[in-house]
Every structure is written in structure tokens, then in C-alpha cells.
Amino acid sequence: MTRENGTGPARLRSDFRPGSTRWAVRRAQWLAMGIAEEDFAKPKIAVVNSSSTLSICFSHLDAVSRVVQEAIRAAGGLPFEIRTVAPSDFVTSAGKQGRYLMPSRDLLVNDVEVQVEGAVLDAVVFLASCDKTTPGQLMAAGRLDLPAIIVPCGYQLGGACGGRDVDIEDLYKGVGTVLAGRMTLEDLTEWSRVAIRGPGVCAGLGTANSMHILAEALGMTLPGAAPVRGGSEAMARNAAASGRRILELLAAGVTARQVLTPAAFRNAVRVATALGLSVNCVRHLIAAAIEAEAEVDILAEFRAAADLVPLLAEIRPNGPRRIEELEAAGGARGVLRALRPLLEDGPTVAGSVMERLEAAPEPDPAVIGSLDRPVRAEPGIILIRGNLAPIGAIVKLAAVPPDIRRFEGPARIFEDEDAAIAALGAGGIRPGDVIVLRMLGPLGGPGTVFAASFMAALVGSGLGEQVAVVTDGELSGLNRGITIGQIMPEAAEGGPLAVVEEGDRVRIDLCAREIAVDLDDGMLAARLAAWKPPPPTRERGWLRQYRALVQPLSRGAVLRGGD
């Protein structure tokens, strides 16, 4: 086989044999598009762009894409921008109670596979933005195993109203404050006018910033890439450097699976634990590890990390510090440096883990603590188990008030988030209740149903420290309070959550890392034996297909055939 220009041995998979059908028809397509013939033999690089005018999270990505493409051209490559689904947790959640959100992650993975593999491109630069795009891009990188790099595209800033700072987290909680009569609709309306000032993802350690940070912890970004303010010069510099770097990765033959190793995932779990990142990062790390065929048990690693890693920073919603303070204090690189004794060496997209840490500046101790002097001695995320969650459930311990480590109360059962919010507004939820939001998981939705809005409303109503929430539904990294998420198995699988009845006593012990319903083994077994699965979904289209393919939360909710 020869190069497309007829000279030298083939070195790129994108070089088709001159005279072949693929060579001829692609050549005609590209000439018609104005691509110069001398460019045909260059490395062909996909720039994955989820630009959309539906959400501020994606509004600036076209400009970022242009920066990356120009850098690729200057480095001797031929960039091709490909567009994918662009799910926004605060926009795409409007339809069907957020059921499209989780399925959109896996739709993105398949979208990338179709376009990159179908066109036989050589390498990929991913522009990472809102909650589902970064995990989907990590999954796609692991599946394709081509040279790949992630470009975190930044967080948004909030504004001010009435003499106080207001961002999307405040607005989110404000709905519950209005329901409780502690704030007027007019005030909430004013907040909505100032809550977002600039492009990018939600401020704070929501799922989007959490996954940007974990992309760096995994070694899939350039050092110092996250968190970063959207539209900033620092973000643009990283985008340009990533465009240049992808050509070097291709020349060196460094592919995604060489970076996404078991050691890389263990490092990421420790960063998640040290910062108290979004509970959703657990399922996303599982899914990325499955796609990369990395032999690592993410749930076991979270259990182990909880005994090793203390909380090193209190970034909203876990504490008073803002995401821009974390960036200024050293960002993901600073946290990694603070965790250095607990990290494993290995390759990244730019140098080894330890080489990167040697070059990193010391983090600001006023924001990022050390292993010797942590912000809190306890971990930021824990996995708890018990007869209500035999496989486990995830708790963002950093977002639970420090004086609450045990909670017990009667179960209040809801299988619809809107019904729970209505009950809250009507005064039907009381201090001491344990709200069970179930049948909302990937299988039960189908497509994980939003439970995050209820939790935010609960906090806004003033009951966030007096009511516990136990759910298999979709939570937000911005949630705080006594929240037990990602119950495994989910109710629709026939997990114990499915047979809890109104008034059953539920006990939560975060010190012992246990959650249980107060039933003896015989009674619980009898209820489970009598349980019948829900009837087949009436949903059509993508959600119906998703339900037929989705695997359990303990498998990252990946689709069958994708592992």
C-alpha cells in the first residue's frame, strides 16, 4: 500500500489505496469541498464538537473548535469537525422528566464511533462540556482506542443580585424556597437574570466540572486543563496546545487505552474522593473503564479510597469556596500533587503522571489541603451497603452537614419526582421523613429520571438537613443534604428498594457506611418473592431501545454490546 499521494510507505490508516473505490469517491467529495490535494496525505483528525444553541454550556464551542482546528493545521494535520448530540442537564431534562439525559451519554458514544470509524480517521480531539459529554467522550476514546485528547471547555460565572452572589446552584435551590413561601417569584425571576454570566458549565462541583477534573486525573487532558473558566485565555491556550499535541500522540503511537489503565482509574477515584465530586462520577468511571477494557473494579476502589483519602477542599456545594478559587489554587493538578503519595505512575497524553506532578506548582494551602492537614478527616464520597442496597449506594459525604452522620425515619414512597415536589409544596413532607424516590433508574425510567430537582427544592425549603432522600434516580453534583443515590440494584431490577412500603423504618449510618430497611430477612425475602416487574414501557423510539439494551448501574449503565 502506498500513501494517497503515491509516495512512501503507508503509515496512516486513513490513507486509502489510489485507484480504489474508497479513494476515488472520497477524493471527489473533498475536492468539491475545497480541500487541497496536498492535504489528502496529512493525518486526518476528528474534532468532536457538541455545539448547540439550546444551552449556554455549548454556546462557545464553535469558537473553541476553530482554535483547535487551526492548531491542527499548523501542526501538519487535516482537521474534520464532527457534531454530536448535545445534552444539557438543565435544558434536555425538560422532556419526559429528564429521561433523555443518561441515554444521551451512550448515544454520543455511538455517534462518535459511527463518524470516526466510518470515515476511518486517525485521531480525535474531544471538546468537553456539559454533564454527559465528557463521560461519553471518555467512553468513546476507550472504545475506539485511537490517539485521543480531551479539552475541557470551562465553567460559567455567576452574578450578583440584591447584594449577594447568585449562581445556578442558588437558582436551583430557590425553587424550593419559593415553594416554602420564604421567597417571592419576583425575586426568583430576578435571580434568573443574573445567575449565569458567561459561557460554560454550571459553577461548582456539579457533574460537568467533576468530569472535567477526572479527565485530567485520568491523564486524558494536558496538565492544568481543569477546572478553567469558559471563554478564558487559559482555556483557549489549552485548546490550541491540545490541537498541536494530538499530532505528536499520533506520531508516537500513543492511544487512549495506553492512558486509560487500571492505575489511571484508581488515581481518578482518589481525586473524586478527595474533592467530594458528583455522585454521578461513579457510574461514569465504571462505564469508561468498561469501554477501555481496563480490569478495575471501580466500586471496590471507592470503598478502598474512603479509608485512605480525606477531603482536601470544600468547593460548592460542599462548602463555601467557589470553583474559580479551586482553579486559582492549582485546580486538578494541585489536588493531584497533594495526593502524590497515594497515586500510581503511568502514561498520560503528555508525560507520565509523576513527571506532570514534579512540574506542578504547590497548591494554595488556603484552598487545597494536604494529606497531613486535610479540610476534613473523612472522605468526600463513600459507598454504603445494607439490605436496602446490597451492591451499594453512593453518598457525597462532603455535601452532608458534618453533624449528621446517622438518620432514621419512616419511608415516604414516590415514583414520580413531580408528585414529591407537589407534596413538598403542600406541606406533606415533614422533618424526620425518609423520601424514597424509586423506579427512576436507567431501566425503570426508562432512562434515568431526574430526582435532583426535588433534592434542590428540599434544601431550598429549609428541610435539607431534616429529611433524607434515597433514590435510584438521577442526581446532580450540585445537590447537598442527606442524599443516598445510585441505589444498586435499582428498583426496576427487583432490588429491595422496590418493596419498601410507606411507613417502613429506614436507617442510615454514614459512619458504619450502612443503609437498611427495618425488616427481618424473612419478611424482606417474602416481599421480594412476591414482587412483579413493571409492565413493558409504553415509550417508543430511543427510550424504548435504551431500555432493551441498558445494563445495571453497577455496570455503569452501559449498553449491551458496548462492553
pLDDT in tens, 44-67: 999 999 999 999 999 999 999 999
- Parallel/antiparallel/unpaired status of strands 434-437 and 514-517: unpaired
* Three cell numbers, residue 250: 499520533
Cα 180 from chain centroid?
A: 31
CATH superfamily, region 382-555 = IlvD/EDD C-terminal domain-like (3.50.30.80)
Q: Which of 94, 99, 144 is nearest to 122 (CA)?
A: 144
Percent of the chain whose predicted confidence (pLDDT) is above 90: 88
Question: What's the pLDDT score for residue 316?
Answer: 93
Residue 3 in this model has a pLDDT that exceeds 70: no
Q: For 141-191, what is each residue's pLDDT tens digit?
A: 999 999 999 999 999 999 999 889 999 989 988 988 998 899 999 999 999
Whether 545 and 446 have beta carbons less than 8 Å apart is answered as: no
- Parallel/antiparallel/unpaired status of strands 164-166 and 505-509: unpaired
Q: What is the mean pLDDT of the chain?
A: 94
Distance CA 146, CA 132 (A): 21
Q: Which of 51, 93, 476, 554 is catalytic?
A: 476
Question: What's the pLDDT score for residue 209?
Answer: 97
Whether 140 and 108 have beta carbons less than 8 Å apart is answered as: yes
Distance CA 424, CA 300 (A): 36
Higher-scoring residue by pLDDT: 539, 299: 299
Distance CA 331, CA 190 (A): 32
Q: For 77-129, what is each residue's pLDDT tens digit?
A: 999 999 999 999 889 888 898 899 999 999 999 999 999 999 999 999 999 99
Question: What's the pLDDT score for residue 563?
Answer: 59
Q: Which of 485, 539, 527 is nearest to 508 (CA)?
A: 485
Distance CA 547, CA 447 (A): 7
Whether 44 and 121 have beta carbons less than 8 Å apart is answered as: yes
Q: Is-catalytic flag, 278? A: no
* Three cell numbers, residue 470: 434515597
Q: For 309-354, what is each residue's pLDDT tens digit?
A: 999 999 999 999 999 999 999 999 999 999 999 999 999 999 999 9
* Three cell numbers, residue 176: 424550593
User: What is residue 146's three-state secondary structure?
Assistant: coil
Alpha helices in 61-165 (DSSP H): 61-74, 101-119, 133-144
- What Å distances lie between residue 69 and 45, 57, 127, CA to CA? 9, 20, 12
pTM for the model: 0.95
Could you state, in order of their start, the residue ranges of all structural domains in the chain? 1-41, 42-157+171-359, 382-555
Q: HEC states along 176-225? A: HHHHCCCCCHHHHHHHHHHCCECCCECCCCCHHHHHHHHHHHCCCCCCCC
Residue 493 in this model has a pLDDT that exceeds 50: yes
Q: For 551-563, what is each residue's pLDDT tens digit?
A: 999 999 999 975 5
pLDDT band, residue 476 (cuts 50/70/90): confident
Residue 9 in this model has a pLDDT that exceeds 70: no
Q: Is the peptide bond before 87 cis (omega within 30 degrees of 0)?
A: no
